Copies of this chain bind each other. A is one copy, B any other.
Amino acid sequence: MNAGPPDFDEKFRKKLGELFRWRRDVRSFRSDPVPDALFTGLLDYAALAPSVGLSQPWRFIRVDDPARRAKVRASFEACNAAALAGQADARAQAYARLKLAGLDDAPCQIAVCAEQNPAQGHGLGRQTMPETTRYSAVMAIHTLWLAARAQGLGVGWVSILDPADVMAALDVDANWDFIGYFCIGYPKTESDAPELERLGWERRRAQKIEVLRR
C-alpha cells in the first residue's frame, strides 16, 4: 500500500495547470445522460477531499424527481427576480437566463449539504470554527468538479437560491447545512475563458495574487 509517493513530474503539473485553467462554471449542457458509473466515480474522488478531523461531513443528494426539480427552479426564479430588481445592468438578465437554461437542461443535478455535528471525527478541529464542516463539503465539491472536468463533464454551481426553500423541496435532515446546488452534464461548448468574462460581465483581474506581508 505504501510504495512511496507517486512521481508528480513537470508534465503532470503542466496538465494539472490546464485542468485548473479549463475547469469552468458550465451553464449550457447537452442532453445526453451522465453514465451512472461515471457519476459514482466522481463521488469516489470527492470522498478523498480534506475534512476537519477526518469527519467527511459532506452529504450528496441526487435530484431526479421532476416535481422537486421544479421547486428548485421556482426558488431560483424568485431569488433571481429579487436580485435583478436591484440590478440595472441588462447583462445580469442574460446571465440569469443562462443559469436557468442550465437548470432545465442538465441531466444530472445534485444538492450538497454538510452535516452540522458529525459523529465521525469526534469534534476534532472544529470547536472554535464550526464552519470548517461546511468548508470540508466545499472542498469535496471542488474535488468532484475537477474530476468531472478531467472526464469531459461540466459542472455549474447554482447559488441564486433560498437554502430553506431547497432544503424543504428536497426534504433533507434539518441538521444538515445546504451548501449548493449543482448541474452536471456534458458542456455544449468548451473554453478556457470564464463564461462571465465572455459575456462581458466581469473579467479575471487577479492573475497575480497580491500577498499581504505580516
Chain A residues packing against B (C-beta within 8 Å): 1-2, 4-6, 8, 12-13, 15-23, 25, 40, 43-50, 52-56, 58-65, 68, 79, 82-83, 87, 89, 92, 95, 110-111, 120-129, 131-132, 134-135, 138-139, 142-143, 145-147, 149-152, 157, 159-163, 170-172, 179-180, 190-194, 196-197, 201-214
Contact = CB atoms under 8 A, between A and B. Distances in A.
19 contacts: A16-B19, A44-B208, A47-B204, A50-B157, A52-B157, A54-B196, A55-B202, A56-B204, A60-B209, A62-B212, A62-B213, A82-B127, A110-B211, A125-B160, A129-B161, A129-B163, A138-B138, A172-B212, A172-B214
Contacts of A56: 204-206
Nearest to A146: B16
A22 B17 CA distance: 18
B179 A62 contact: no
Contacts of A170: 214
B126 A159 contact: yes
A79 B122 contact: no
B6 A214 contact: no
A22 B47 contact: no
Nearest to A203: B54
Given A46-B209, A145-B50, A207-B44, A5 B161 contact: no
Contacts of A179: 135
B159 A214 contact: no
A6 B19 CA distance: 8
Contact of A122 (B61, B89, B110, B194): B89
